[in-house]
Amino acid sequence: MLNLCESSGERLLVFSQYLLPLKFLERLSVKAKNWSPGREIFVISGESSAEHREWSMERFNNSPHSKVFFGSIKACGEGISLVGASRIIILDVHLNPSVTRQAIGRAFRPGQKKKVYAYRLVTAGFHEEEDHTTCFKKELISRMWFEWNEYCGYQNFQVETMDANDCGDEFLESPVLKEDVKALYKR
């Protein structure tokens, strides 16, 4: 995903509720891409000071060198605007769907000029898949309660699958990404 974002001139947000995967991905970006924190890479966690948050946010949104922003999903919940990004990856399932929605909302702000895509990574066949389904149901119930419309009345509380070839997302339709995914399955 980083390679696709880099080649298309887009920036990426990566959110997790855990710091370990964010730190791992930061180190991997430094080693594999030869990127530098504070130039191409930005990180906000609960340990970040208010000044560091403001500086990181401003640099990520405005620097032509910025590539990826790694953020703790809770630390980036309020007061953070990351309109420099047009791609968002949620690494894990948070049991409160409003927390995830709020994190995705960091890029859906006034000043956003691009279409924003959000990807939620869910491991099939593990408890994470059940958590994702539970969150989907919570989100649907919330919409039915607060935003009722005709569409909500006909839901069957099942997560629907989508064909990546028909979604209109050039990244998911990319042969490069498909080859990367195939390589992961071979491991």
Q: Mind listing the pLDDT tens digit for each residue in 109-152?
A: 888 888 898 888 777 777 777 776 777 777 776 766 666 655 55
Q: What is the pTM of this model?
A: 0.78
How far apart (Å, rounded) are the C-alpha atoms in residues 168 and 175?
14
3-state secondary structure of 85: coil
**pLDDT at position 187 over 90:** no
pLDDT for the residue numbered 58: 97
> Mind listing the domains of the chain with CATH numbers?
1-121 (3.40.50.300), 128-187 (no CATH)
The token pair that represents 170 in the structure block: 């050039």
DSSP class of residue 9 equals T
pLDDT for the residue numbered 30: 97
How far apart (Å, rounded) are the C-alpha atoms in residues 79 and 57?
10
Q: What length does the chain have?
A: 187
Where residue 84 falls among pLDDT bands split at 50, 70, 90?
A: very high
φ and ψ at residue 75, rounded to 5 degrees: -70, -25
Average pLDDT of the chain, as a whole number: 82
Where residue 102 falls among pLDDT bands split at 50, 70, 90?
A: confident
Nearest to 158 by CA among 179, 185, 137, 135: 137
**pLDDT at position 14 over 90:** yes
pLDDT for the residue numbered 72: 94
Rg (CA), the chain: 17
How far apart (Å, rounded) are the C-alpha atoms in residues 140 and 138?
5
Beta-strand pair 117-120/68-72: unpaired
The token pair that represents 88 in the structure block: 């968002």
Q: Mind listing the pLDDT tens digit for each residue in 41-68?
A: 999 999 999 999 999 999 999 999 999 9
pLDDT for the residue numbered 38: 96
